[in-house]
Amino acid sequence: MKLLEFFRKESRPPKSQIFFTALVSGLANGYLLMIINNAAASVNKSDEIQLSNFILFFADLMLLLYTKQYSLKQATIIAENAINRVRMRITDKLRRTELLFVETVGHAEIYTSVTQDASLISESAIIMINACQQIMVVIICLLYIAWLSIPGFIITVSVLGVSILMYLYNSRHINNRLHEAAKKESEFFNGINSILMGFKEIKINRKKNEALFNHIETISQEAKDIKVATGLNFVIDLMFAQTSFFILCAGIIFALPALSPTYVGQVVGITVAVLFLFGPLSMVVGALPMFERANVAVENLYRLEEKIDEFSKPEQNIAIQVPDFESLELEKISFHYQQQSEGSVFGVGPIDLKINKGDILFIVGGNGSGKSTLVKLLIGLYYPLSGNMYINNKPLAADDYVHYRELFSTIFADFHLFEHLYGVEGVDQKQVDELLKTMELEKKTTFKHNGFSNTDLSTGQKKRLAYIASVLEDKQIYVFDEWAADQDPEFRKYFYEVLLKDLKSKGKTVIAVSHDDRYFSSADKIIKLEYGSIIERK
């Protein structure tokens, strides 16, 4: 069972101690059956015997409560530690992976694995320990039945054996359907994400709104059908287990006396044992669907981690050595995306380009011309498939990228505004206040606790706040992807005629993606892209 393997691999001691106390708890629970049967059989005997049975009952009950409570508490702690360890390991690998992996896999699979699947594994821990205890109770009950009557034991084991084999046969189909359901859940999440991220677009386009909803509804219906089919299989398993129990009772009461000379007391004792057995067995059978789902969740987590490992390049925890930027040169650089379906493969190149310290470079071109792809190549988020890159006239090797990327501070068109200035230390409060005033944000937000008090702003204001954060990073090269697009005319002019020149005067290099041809005079160099190639230089 993958769930057991997960806890064996990911958890730390005291696993053996937990399972030992769980077994003791199960033994104590099973021993209660014998105490109760003995006490029932000695109702008319001496008070001393009844007192002895009561003391045994009370002592065994205390042992049961203590061991069960201990094992369940420790199981909860171990499960949460294991989940946290795996989630943080995957998160750590995720932050070190490449952008193409995140773009290819998508957010849905990642979110589902580290949240929904992790929670399911967490919930299964207590159920698993409780099931182990109940299995021990089942074993004790079977041994007790064997002590009372070997034929009765054979009947009991035969009926239970057939039930288990039927369950194992059915579980293979259930497991496949659970995998299908998990995939549909990821697709459904993508649909909900499309509503949230594209809310403005679908709000003004009724046909797009309806088509997207119909698509999500289809996915949801398919997921429901798979879950219903899986649930029906679980129902069949449950009903078969209950039917098996009644068949077992009938076998003990009707068949056993015919097969073997049996005292009435033995039949009653075996029947009581079977009745006692039914509760723990029902708990175990009822836990099996959870185990199946948890097994699938474990597979999903490890599959995600394997995907990250396959896609990622080893990144050692080495000291970052940021080069002093003088020049960046691209020599016949080419890149193209992996083909997802039939049709042409989009890419850029071959491109030749040189950027010197202090340059203001504008990258222009229509939508789909390759501007954003080129920017990602320039800042090291994509690796070129062919050609060479030179930093300060030295070839840029794959191992150099971790240092090379530290040259850049970026504000993408789809930028994310972080709540805190992560990685920025010793911030000058006076400088921040001046920047807020320059960006006309002093009445909108304040800087405190290394973050901004309010980020619930308009898109243009968020970009101005992102600019402040970018300036505070104090990097050597600044990249702005359509930064001015959401600004009012005054701030747009201020950006091109003041902010860019101010960065240049401080020795910074600027790469800006722009459509504002009226301000092209602010650039030292301009390249125009079309279909991934430079068609014009100024």
Same domain? For 130 and 231 the reply is: yes
Residue 111: inside a domain: yes
Q: Is the same domain home to 8 and 126?
A: yes
Nearest-CA neighbor of 501 among 482, 483, 478?
478
Tens of pLDDT, residue by residue over 460-494, are 888 888 888 888 888 888 998 888 887 888 888 88
Task: Give the pLDDT band of residue 37 (cuts 50, 70, 90).
Answer: low
Crossing angle of the two packed helices 47-96 and 2-10, in degrees rounded to 10: 80
Q: 514 is in which domain, residue-wise?
A: 327-537
Q: Is residue 13 part of a domain?
A: yes
Which pLDDT belongs to residue 271?
A: 76
Q: Do residues 244 and 390 both lie within one domain?
A: no
**Taking phi first (over 0 means left), then psi (-120 to 50 degrees means alpha), and beta for anything else, what does residue 68 get?**
alpha
For range 370-398, the mean pLDDT = 87
In this prediction, residue 87 carries a pLDDT of: 81
CA–CA dist 530, 366 (Å, integer): 7
Residue range 98-147, pLDDT digits in tens: 787 777 776 767 777 777 777 777 777 777 777 777 777 777 778 877 88
pLDDT at 344 exceeding the cut of 70: no
In a domain, 321, yes or no: no
Judgement on whether residues 23 and 167 belong to the same structural domain of the protein: yes
**Is 537's pLDDT higher than 60?**
yes
pLDDT, tens only, 196-247:
666 666 665 777 777 878 888 888 888 888 878 777 777 777 677 777 777 7
pLDDT tier at 45 (50, 70, 90 boundaries)?
A: low
The answer for residues whose C-beta is within 8 angstroms of residue 46's C-beta and 6 or more apart is none
- Whether 158 is covered by a domain: the verdict is yes
Last residue of a domain, one of 277, 311, 345: 311
Q: Tell me the C-alpha to C-alpha distance, in Å, between residue 218 and each of 98, 183, 187, 214.
A: 33, 14, 10, 6
pLDDT of 264 strictly over 60: no
- Residue 444, helix vs strand vs coil: coil
Identify whether residues 189 and 45 lie together within a single domain: yes
On whether both 240 and 285 belong to a single domain, the answer is: yes
Q: Which of 285, 311, 337 is the last residue of a domain?
A: 311
Check pLDDT > 80 for residue 257: no
What is the rounded distance in angstroms from the CA atom of residue 367 to the CA atom of residue 532?
11
Cα Rg of the chain (Å, integer): 34
- Report d(CA 377, CA 265) in Å as an integer: 84
Burial class (CB in 10 A: 0-12, 13-18, 19+), 268: middle
DSSP, res 114: I
Question: Can you name the residues that pair with 291 across neighbouring β-strands?
Answer: none
Q: Within this chain, do residues 295 and 349 fall inside the same structural domain, yes or no?
A: no
Supply angle C-alpha 318, 319, 325, rounded to 5. Answer: 120
Q: Which of 251, 279, 311 finishes a domain?
A: 311
Residue 396's domain is classified under what CATH number?
3.40.50.300
C-alpha distance across the termini of the chain, in Å: 65
Do 394 and 305 sit in the same domain of this protein? no
Assess contact for 190 and 106: CB atoms under 8 A: yes
Of the candidates 281, 301, 293, the one whose C-alpha atom is nearest the C-alpha of residue 171 is 293
For residue 322, tell me if it sits in a domain.
no
Q: Per the structure, how many domains does the chain have?
A: 2
182 and 248 assigned to the same domain: yes
Residue 42 and residue 166 share a domain: yes
The owner of tokens 């393997």 is 5
- In CATH, what number is assigned to the domain containing residue 75? 1.20.1560.10
Tell me, yes or no, whether 484 lies in a domain: yes
Residue 496 maps to a domain: yes
295 and 341 fall within a common domain: no
Round the average pLDDT of the chain to a whole number and report it. 78
Residue 346 located in a structural domain: yes
Q: Are 270 and 346 found together in one domain?
A: no
